[in-house]
Amino acid sequence: LLALEPEVLLLDDPTAGMSLEEVPAIIGLIERIKERRDRTVLLVEHKIDMVMALSDSIA
């Protein structure tokens, strides 16, 4: 789907079911998409520490 170059990426609990070892890779991927592709990421997540680290704003 990223091949379609969406301006907004919607992610619903992207780390659900992942081990603690896998989560940093997903966080890095989200950050790279956000920064390198200059995309808006709308994220629903239950891990508040991850949300705080990734977010420019929280609603």
Q: Which residues of the chain have pLDDT under 50?
A: none
pLDDT at 57: 78
pLDDT at 1: 55
Residue 59 lies in a domain: no
pLDDT at 7: 86
Q: What is the pTM of this model?
A: 0.73
Three-state secondary structure readout of the chain: CHHHCCCEEEEECCCCCCCCCCHHHHHHHHHHHHHHCCCEEEEECCCHHHHHHHCCCCC
pLDDT at 2: 65
pLDDT at 16: 92
Domain encompassing residue 7: 2-54
